[in-house]
Amino acid sequence: MTAETSDWLVISVSTAGAPATLRVQVWRKLRSLGALYLQQSVCLLPALPPVVRDVRRLAGRVREQGGTARVLPMAFTAAAEERAVIAEMNAARDAEYAEVLERLPELHRELAAEQARGNATYAEVEESEADLARFQGWLGKIAARDYFGAPGGQAAREAVDEAAEALKAFEEAAFSAEAHERTKK
């Protein structure tokens, strides 16, 4: 998703006087949206329709539970400032994409190790499918908050696609091994 907007939201939230769990809920939601914190309890997000909807819902929940929330529209008066904020948001997404790339080789190592042990089985395929699904889900969550097309996204998508291909090859090896075992009986 790439934002084509110069409209932004400034979100200010205080959970003082509200249940303690609300603070964590607010933090998680704003983090999942990719909010850029300007200072404690004040953050910035692009004013895209799904973001606006989620922020309004969050603000309503905060108010219902005794906290305070303000959602203010904003536009940058200097293009350089907006570019700097976008660069900072892209850097945050790139760090997340880099973590995917850092952890993904473990899946490749696991597949190679199981194959080397002659353990290409359906059970291993299922386990590796679950691992791949976690990477795909993680990548999807990052991409959902990658409003400006962070450069690291392409490499992360390609790496996850390569892992899917490696798993497909492993699955074919498992199928062949099990078919070979059935013919020996």
State the pTM of this model: 0.86
- For residues 103 and 108, give the distance between their C-alpha atoms in angstroms, rounded to a whole number: 10
Position 139 pLDDT exceeds 60 = yes
Same domain, 92 and 151: yes
Query: Which pLDDT belongs to residue 6?
Result: 67
156-179 pLDDT tens trace: 999 999 999 999 988 888 887 666
Same domain, 133 and 176: yes
Same domain, 52 and 110: no
CB atoms within 10 A of CB 27: 15
Q: Does residue 116 lie within any of the structural domains?
A: yes
Of the residues 75, 105, 126, the one at which a domain ends: 75
List, in order, residues 6 or more apart from 45 with CB less than 8 Å away.
Answer: 8, 9, 11, 30, 33, 34, 35, 36, 51, 55
Same domain, 92 and 64: no
Q: How confident is the model at residue 13 (pLDDT cuts 50, 70, 90)?
A: very high
Can you tell me the mean pLDDT for 181-185?
A: 65
Can you tell me the mean pLDDT for 48-57?
A: 97
Type of residue numbered 78:
A
List, in order, residues 6 or more apart from 176 with CB less than 8 Å away.
Answer: none
Same domain, 95 and 166: yes
Same domain, 125 and 146: yes
Residue in the structure block whose two tokens are 């353990």: 119
- For residues 114 and 120, give the distance between their C-alpha atoms in angstroms, rounded to a whole number: 6
Same domain, 108 and 178: yes
Same domain, 24 and 64: yes
Same domain, 86 and 158: yes
- For residues 9 and 121, give the distance between their C-alpha atoms in angstroms, rounded to a whole number: 51
Percentage helix, strand, coil for the chain under 3-state DSSP, each rounded to 5: 65, 15, 20
The domain that holds 66 is classified in CATH as 3.30.70.240
CB atoms within 10 A of CB 183: 7
Of the residues 45, 75, 105, the one at which a domain ends: 75
Same domain, 167 and 88: yes
Same domain, 37 and 119: no
Query: Which pLDDT belongs to residue 36?
Result: 97
**Mean pLDDT, all residues of the chain:** 91
Same domain, 69 and 124: no
Print the domain residue range for 135.
82-184
Q: Does residue 1 lie within any of the structural domains?
A: no
Query: Which pLDDT belongs to residue 1?
Result: 43
Please give the tally of structural domains in the chain.
2
Q: Does residue 2 lie within any of the structural domains?
A: no
Residue in the structure block whose two tokens are 């009986």: 185
Query: Which pLDDT belongs to residue 2?
Result: 46
Q: How confident is the model at residue 185 (pLDDT cuts 50, 70, 90)?
A: low
- The two three-digit tokens of residue 153, written as one number: 């996204």
Type of residue numbered 102:
E
